[in-house]
Amino acid sequence: MWQKSNLVSYRHFRTGRRGLLVGGLQLGFCGLLAWRMHQLQVEKAESFRLVADENRINVRLIPNQRGEIYDRNGVKLAENEASYRVTMVAEDAGDIDLILERLSKLINLSTEDIERSKAELQRSAKFLPVTIIDRLEKDDIAKIAVNAPMLPGINPEIGFSRIYPLGEIFAHVVGYVGPVSSRDLEVRDDPDPLLRIPRFQIGKVGVERELESTLRGKAGTKRVEVNALGRVMREIERKEGSKGANLKLTLDTNLQAYVRARLGTESASVVVLDCKTGEILAICSSPAYDPNKFVRGISFDDYGTLRDDNRRPLASKTVQDAYPPGSTFKMVTALAALEAGIIDHRKKIRCNGHVEVSNRKFHCWKADGHGNVDLVKSLRESCDVYYYELAQKVGIEKIAEAARILGLGQSFNIEMSAVTSGIVPDKIWKQKTRSNEWVVGDTVNSSIGQGYVLSSPLQLAVMIARIATGREILPKLIKSINGIENERIQDKLKLNRNNLHLIRKALFEVTNDKRGTAYPARVLDKKSEIVGKSGTSQVRNISSVERTLGVLENKDLPWEQRDHALFVNYAPYDDPEIAVSVVVEHGGSGSTVAAPIARDITLQAIFKGTPPITAYPVEDRARIYNQQRELKKLMPKTTNSSKVQA
């Protein structure tokens, strides 16, 4: 009896506990439901009322300001200017044709603008704003504002447009922006929503393209209330975006402007490096173009003129083009031979004006030859036969290895478009690309920078900088991003220091010995003596008949058949600060055309402005004085007031 009573009591207790648990859960659920109903009906009632009332809440992107670009001293190279524009949201406009017709009666809206706008509105999502016209005057915006009730879906706005205050001087480096294309969207895995806004502008070439995401920043958003006609009644919520990062380049505006002016109308390119840091102080292709025309929409005629010009103003020749380096490559062959222990600086080779290899004559530029030639003389007087003979003993593999150590045959990671790696050929390369075996004639051609060898002006500047310093100089274009600098470590080259010294000694005589090929381009100021090597690379084959009758001079040939003129140098001799490469397309002789340009630019860089006239040889001073005066007229005025800390 006692046990039965206890059992009943236990079951009663267990049932009561379950009831309490279920009841508690039900009570909690009811409480949660009540809280949620209070939140929806009281706290967020206004928001849901607006949504329910003809779906009048729109969320729109707010384009942010693009980051600005400066030179090393804070001079603006790319900035944003306020611009009045008119956009249309298709879902708010209703009858698009009618609204555009009304708008065209208020402002100057061409038939082309209307048709383009219709096409963009058709392609775009209905909720995205499409720019109808920009760069309007304040009076136009006022007219639109007054007639707002008659223009549903039309929104006058203040936006920002890109402007390049120095025009063509930095065109090939900074580049330009333009409207997003379908191709731009295809190459991105997850495009930023900003890019889907019609006529939104992104970088197309140069730094603007290579650092697009850094410069673009992030868009903001806003929630707005609109009425039944689609007019914005009020802004409910706004989240500001973040401006793109500001960039400071390593370039010096005054030096870059001087280089551009010095090249004039030549089809040419120049690279100036800081030997201490690898920073690019100037990098210029000539002729150039005005990037502002592309931002505003270049006309068909203007683009056709640029496209069809045989001097290729649209090409960034400094990094995009690769040329036979000609005799500037001879120091590579010489270093390869020294490193392999095949020669020393006293070893002499006889030059009679040509050498026969595999039943083919390879000629020296000096028809009657140079006589007995050692290493220094071979570079000083640029003897070809010396290198023909040397290359056969060294072999292409060791020459190619030395070239790569000096920076040739590689694509440097700088923020410019289409940076070429050039060509440093070897046996494997020819088999892969030409499906042919390497022959000794290929080695002979390569020894003097002809044949398959191709190098960009940037690579040539790196090559001479590495020879000057014995360090693995890496070119650097971006000095800082939002004020934060990124330093690069420069390792020592895997080359014998004494061998590099021998090459430098020979290069010194090229410009400072009366027998040197570039002696006329010497500098008299002992603290800024330049050390360099000229090069003249052929772009056509000279037939045996022409050699018999007499080789035609460059001036007697069509422009596109003339030799390229090259010069590479560094200065000063004892403590290198500046390295320069110059390539003048179809310019003729490197020593008479490219070398004087390189000397003037080197002195301008060392003196950080116009050098003293006494730095030049006496016979050149009158000409240089007049030249300096004319070039100053062509250079823009960059005052302290235009400088802003990036």
Q: DSSP letter at 482?
A: T
Q: Name the token pair of 522.
A: 């010497």
Annotated active-site residue in 267, 327, 417, 446: 327
Q: Is the peptide bond before 325 cis (omega within 30 degrees of 0)?
A: no
| Alpha-carbon span 387 to 444, nearest angstrom | 8
576 near 473, Cβ under 8 Å?
Answer: no
Q: Tokens 């879906």 correspond to what residue?
A: 153
Q: Name the token pair of 486.
A: 């990124």
Q: Which of 365, 378, 376 is CA-nearest to residue 537?
A: 365
Instruction: Answer yes or no: 181 catalytic.
Output: no
The set of residues, in sequence order, having a beta carbon less than 8 Å from that of 190 and lying 6+ positions away, is: none
440 near 359, Cβ under 8 Å?
Answer: no
Q: Going along 499-614, which residue ranges are E strands?
A: 531-537, 564-571, 578-584
437 near 443, Cβ under 8 Å?
Answer: no
| Alpha-carbon span 545 to 622, nearest angstrom | 43
Q: Going along 168-231, which residue ranges are E strands?
A: 176-179, 201-205, 220-226
- Amino acid occupying residue 593: V
Q: What are φ and ψ of residue 160, in 5° steps?
A: -130, 140
Sort strands 247-249 and 69-70 into parallel, antiparallel or unpaired: parallel
**C-alpha angle 327/392/362, rounded to 5°?**
55
107 near 95, Cβ under 8 Å?
Answer: no
Q: Which of 323, 172, 320 is CA-nearest to residue 259?
A: 172
Half-sphere exposure (Cβ direction) of 522: Cα atoms closer than 13 Å:
19
| Alpha-carbon span 207 to 184, nearest angstrom | 16
Angle between helices 330-340 and 396-405 in degrees, nearest 10? 110
**C-alpha angle 403/535/447, rounded to 5°?**
40
DSSP string, 235-264: EEEEE--BPPPPEEES--HHHHHHHHHHHT
Half-sphere exposure (Cβ direction) of 46: Cα atoms closer than 13 Å:
3
Q: Which of 242, 246, 247 is CA-nearest to residue 64?
A: 242
Active site residue ranges: 327
